[in-house]
Structures are given as C-alpha cells and as structure tokens.
Structure 1
Amino acid sequence: MSFSLDTPSILTLKSEAKALRDERAKAGTPLTHGAALEVIAKSHGFRDWNTARAVLPERVATPFQVGWRVKGTYLGHPIKGLVVAVQLMSDMQHHKVSVKLDEPVDVVTSSLFSAFRKRVTSTLDIYGVSPARTGNGEPQMRLTRE
C-alpha cells in the first residue's frame, strides 16, 4: 500500500474535524469535537478515531514538494529539474520522487549506445538519498532543493 502526497496525518484529521464542526455549526446542527473526530476518521477508512490515532503519524515529513526546483545526481550524472510527483511509500520513511529534467541524462554507461531520459523517478529517504545503489555503490539518486 502506498500513500499519495496528501497522506493524512493526525494534524490533517484534526483540521478536517474542526472544519466539519464549523460547517455543522453554521448549518444549525452542532457537532461535538469527539463526534467530529469519529466522522472524519471513518471518512478516511478507519474504524474509529482511536484506530486512526494509533496508525497515523502526528505529521508527515516530505523532503520534496511538487513544483520545487531540485539539483543533484542520477546514476552519477549531475541533474537539475522540476519535481513533478511525490508519493509517500508504505513504510512512511521513503518517498517516490519524479523529476522532469532540464537537460536529458544518459542512463546507459556503454559507449556503444545511449538512452537519454528527460524524466527520472527514484525512491528517496527524508534526506534526499536513494537507498538503491548503482554497481559502484553510489546512491541511484541524490537530490537537494535548488
């Protein structure tokens, strides 16, 4: 199971519950804070608020956001580009990040042919370093904000 960029956190659910309470109060059907938390937890697929609280992190740390300019290396080549997708992985520790490159990068080390890519995707930790390694032991991708 993987999560999208808008993975819920406890803070997200609490904010949604507050908005629901405000909306219901304006409509003339007030809702208690506890009841709002229960409704929001169920809307996210949890059995109840306690289950959501036990499973979800307090907040979700994202090392990169869609639209950020980044620089770094991919397969040992220097790259610069725009983050076009970020997906939180199921371990809640890594993100799949896709970058649209300013200049294509050759992903083949052979001198007999080339394979240029304009978009690359890799799984990164919260420091922007890929746990996957190339043949020489270097991370597949390293990224920092430009």
Structure 2
Amino acid sequence: MAYALDTPSIHSLKSEARAMREAASGKGQQISHAAALESVARSHGYRDWNTARARLPERVGVPFDVGGRVRGTYLGQKFEGLVIGVQMLADMQHYQVTVKFDQPVDVVTSKLFSAFRHRVTATVDTSGVSPARTSDGQPHMRVTRA
C-alpha cells in the first residue's frame, strides 16, 4: 500500500496521545493512555485506535529514496544527481539528504575562484526545500525527484 508524505504513522499518533496526556495532566486532569489513543485516532478520522493501527504504517514515507535520481539547485546552482543517503530528523518534518552530483557544482559566486562540490549533505523539509538560507534569502537546497 502506498502512503502520502502527510500520512501520519503509528509512532506519530502515539506521540500525539502522550502529548495529550501531558497537557491534560498539566491542567489537573487524568486521561488514561487508552483513552488518549482512542481520541487521537478519532481526530484523524478513524473509528477507533484498532482501526487506525490496522491501516497506518509503522513509519512515515520519505520524499527521497537512496538510489533515486533527483534534480534541483544547491546554493543557486542547478544540479542533477543520485541520492546516496537519507535520514529523518527527530522532528519528523525534516530529512538529511546526501546527493552525489552528476557534474560537480561550483558553490562560489565569485569570478576570481571556484570551489566545486561533488557531493553534499543538506537538511530539507518534506517538500525538498532547505530551511537554511543564503544571505539573499534563497534556500541552500531545493531538490525534487527527477
């Protein structure tokens, strides 16, 4: 079964249930773990926790697969390349992606010298855009499947 990138995982629903219990506890209310799981499942449109558990993946999908072809820009320079590493970060909203460029990319804008990169590792969100910005406000990396 294929899942969209915004499909929650069982792990993320369990995290929501824990957060719900902690928030309730902070207000002096006690909610059982089972009740929190049921409430979170219903908030995502499932009849109950068991239905959500049966239909959702353990893990969320990743926007890029190791060995997949990608294209985009890195520090304003166009590239095409091969994904050689992907790692989901702790916030579950960003990925560390390592790309081996087909052709080296000059990452210096000066006409006086060059600095070519053959491979880079960058943090991107689920849409492939880096939260890190250059001095002119452009994302360090924009990457999409080729």
Provide the residue aligned with 1:120 in structure 2: 120
Equivalent residue letter for 1:144: T
Please name the residue that 2:138 is paired with.
138
Note the alpha carbon deviations across 1:5-24, whole angstroms, 9 max, x for none.
xxxx648xxxxxxxxxxxxx
Mapped partners of 2:143, 2:88: distance in 1: 16
- Quote the Cα distance in structure 2 between the aligned partners of 1:87 and 1:58: 16
Whether contact under 8 Å (1:71, 1:143) holds in the other structure is yes
TM-score normalised over the length of structure 1:
0.60
Q: After TM superposition, list the pairs within 5 Å mapping 1:3-18 onto structure 2.
A: 10=10
Quote the Cα distance in structure 1 between the aligned partners of 2:59 and 2:102. Answer: 32
The count of residues paired between Structure 1 and Structure 2 equals 94
- Could you list the per-position Cα deviations for residues 62-116 of structure 1 after superposition, in whole angstroms to 9, with x for gaps in the alignment? 1101000000000011000000000111111100000000000011122221110
- Are 2:85 and 1:96 equivalent residues in the alignment? no
Unaligned runs of 5+ in 2: 1-8, 12-52
TM-score (norm 2): 0.60
**CA contact 1:96–1:123 (8 Å) conserved in 2:** yes
Q: Distance in 1 between matches of 2:135 and 2:121?
A: 18
C-alpha displacement at 1:133, in angstroms? 0.6
Match of 1:92, SS state, is: coil
Contact 1:82 1:99 in 2 (8 A): yes
User: What are the ranges of 5 or more consecutive residues in structure 1 without an aligned counterpart?
Assistant: 1-8, 12-52
Q: In structure 1, how many angstroms separate the alpha carbons of the residues matched to 2:61 and 2:86?
A: 12
The alignment partner of 1:91 has SS state of coil
Partner of 1:99: helix, strand, or coil? strand
Q: Give the C-alpha shift of residue 59 in structure 1.
A: 3.0
2:78 is aligned to: 78
2:112 and 2:60 mapped to 1: Cα distance?
44
- The answer to whether the 8 A contact 1:61-1:126 is kept is no
In 1, Cα distance between the equivalents of 2:59 and 2:84? 22
Once residues 91 and 10 of structure 1 are traced to their aligned partners in structure 2, the CA distance between those partners, rounded to angstroms, is 15
Percent identity between matched residues is 66
